[in-house]
Structure 1
Amino acid sequence: MSDSLDQRLAAIARHPFRAKFHLRGRDLATAELSGPSTMRWYAYDVIAKRLAPAEPRKDGKQTPYRGHPVFVAQHATATCCRTCLERWHQIPKGRELTRAERTYAVDVICRWIEREVADGARPGP
């Protein structure tokens, strides 16, 4: 599964807007200190509240750009709104997300965070 997620993330990262997003500073520290299970729990909660409804409140503007690693990851992975989910992940708008779709979105977000934490932990040149 991680190979297909990595391929999807690589394709999304080629888009200039998506490629700009990386975990830095406080967001990177939060991800490192909180750990993968906390990030997963938070991602699932965010997806359930802000993305899973058929017509999310303020869709297209519901995800902040900063303030938590999950928010940054949502923009980097095109899981920030229903329009992006449809365009990049072929998950249609206008209906509630299934459990499998919620899990998929969380998996994409968490894989991106995992990769960013690994990259952030590497010493620079």
Structure 2
Amino acid sequence: MDVADVTNTQSTDGDRRTAWIGRTLSRLTTSRFRAKFVLSDKDRAYARAKGKETIDRHAHEMLAKRVGPAEPYKDGKQTPWHGHPVFTAQHATATCCRGCIEKWHHIPKGRALTDEEIDRLAALVMAWIERDLRNHPA
């Protein structure tokens, strides 16, 4: 496989992920509950101050710790409603507990999330945060 093949494979994977994110965000807006979430002014300021790289790292860490295990501690109650942009985004994107992840993203409960699944869900969380920031300019 040459460099062009690797680049094309990565591009195709990126294109698929981007399409999946777009479809999923669109589907989530059909839920009155999911669609009502917006970041607070404080969370928007925090996200802008910290930057995308830091918030993305937080998303990966929070998802891995809070919903990544096969049987998360206090599943269904482990994600606060506010206090960090990722928390709000988790509720908006149905990545807040294993029940929501199973229902909306078809990843079964009872087994640990893979690194790829955490990456995919973190990308969804980040896309939602970025969309909120675009919709509410500073």
Structure 1-normalised TM-score? 0.94
Alignment-mate amino acid for residue 24 of structure 2: R
Alignment-mate amino acid for residue 136 of structure 2: G
Alignment-mate amino acid for residue 85 of structure 1: I
* Correspondent of 1:44 among 60, 67, 73: 60
2:44 aligns with 28
1:59 aligns with 75
Alignment-mate amino acid for residue 6 of structure 1: G
* Correspondent of 2:86 among 48, 70, 73: 70
Residue 85 of structure 1 aligns to a residue in which SS?
A: helix
* Deviation for aligned residue 1:25: 1.1
* Correspondent of 1:99 among 111, 115, 130: 115
Structure 2 residues without counterparts, runs of 5 or longer: 1-16
Are residues 1:10 and 2:34 paired?
Answer: no
Residues matched between the structures, number: 122
- Higher relative contact order, structure no. (Cα contacts within 8 Å, ≥ 6 residues apart): 1
Alignment-mate amino acid for residue 32 of structure 1: R
Alignment-mate amino acid for residue 41 of structure 1: R
Distance 1:4 1:52 in 2: 20
* Deviation for aligned residue 1:61: 0.2
Task: Give the % identical residues.
Answer: 48
* Deviation for aligned residue 1:4: 2.3
Range that drifts further, 10-19 or 62-71: 10-19
Alignment-mate amino acid for residue 11 of structure 1: R
- Rg (Cα) greater in structure: 2
1:115 aligns with 131
Runs of 4+ in 1 over 3 A off after TM superposition: none
* Deviation for aligned residue 1:3: 2.9
1:76-87 equivalent positions in 2, closer than 5 A = 76-87=92-103
CA RMSD of aligned residues (A): 1.0
Distance 1:77 1:20 in 2: 11
Structure 1 residues without counterparts, runs of 5 or longer: none
